[in-house]
Amino acid sequence: MGRNKLVMKKIEDPISRQQFYSKRKDTILKKSNELAVLCDTDVALLMFSPAGQVTSYSSKESVEDIMVRAMNKSVNQRYYKPQVENISSVQEAEAYAQFLRSNMEQIQQSKAKLLGVQGFLQRNEYPAVNTEDTAAAGKLCLLHQGSDLREAVAC
């Protein structure tokens, strides 16, 4: 959009990349919300900024609950249907393989990870993490009224 057409390739300049992220993130949040409200359905969204900041959105339930519910459906239905346009065959195949793999271990892994997290809390420690990767984190919430945008930030 805009003056020039978009090129589907990673933006190399860090500054431009971050600026691009900030703008697009808002649009996706807005559209996700429109979908959830107009269709009265559950939508969950998680986005990591180039710096590692996490932005989440969930319509009714929490992101976790929506994911868990979707997970159950997927597992019970036992099928995966990629529905993203502009995706190469290779990517699609990889996505499918990835889904199957995670499907087989998702429960065990999630459990293990959560237990690991719990351990950190109990010991009051922070895990060693890649700075760039974990610039920020978070969980919850929101607010902002009076405008058409409510936002919750947890850093």
Contact between residue 66 and residue 58 where contact means Cβ atoms under 8 Å apart = yes
**Which one of a copy of itself, DNA, none is in contact with 93 (Cβ closer than 5 to 8 A by kind)?**
none
**Which one of DNA, a copy of itself, none is in contact with 97 (Cβ closer than 5 to 8 A by kind)?**
none
Task: For tokens 């949040």, name the residue.
Answer: 29
- Name, in order, each residue with C-beta under 8 angstroms of 117's C-beta and a sequence gap of 6 or more: none
1 sits near DNA (criterion: CB under 7 A): yes
Residue 36's identity, in one-letter code, is A
22 sits near DNA (criterion: CB under 7 A): yes
Q: How far apart are CA 1 and CA 4, in angstroms?
A: 6
49 sits near DNA (criterion: CB under 7 A): no
Contact between residue 56 and residue 86 where contact means Cβ atoms under 8 Å apart = no
Closest distance of CB 92 from DNA, Å: 18
Query: Which residues inside 118-147 make contact with DNA, applying CB under 7 A?
Result: none
Out of 9, 12, 17, 23, the only residue in the binding site for DNA (CB under 7 A) is: 23
Closest distance of CB 13 from a copy of itself, Å: 11
Q: What is the secondary structure of 81-97 as a DSSP string?
A: ----SS--HHHHHHHHH
Q: How far apart are CA 73 and CA 141, in angstroms?
A: 27
Q: Which is nearer to DNA, 14 or 119 (CB)?
A: 14
74 sits near DNA (criterion: CB under 7 A): no
Residue 71's identity, in one-letter code, is M
The token duo for 21 is 């992220």
98 sits near DNA (criterion: CB under 7 A): no
Site residues (CB under 7 A) for DNA?
Answer: 1-6, 15-16, 18-20, 22-24, 26-27, 30-31
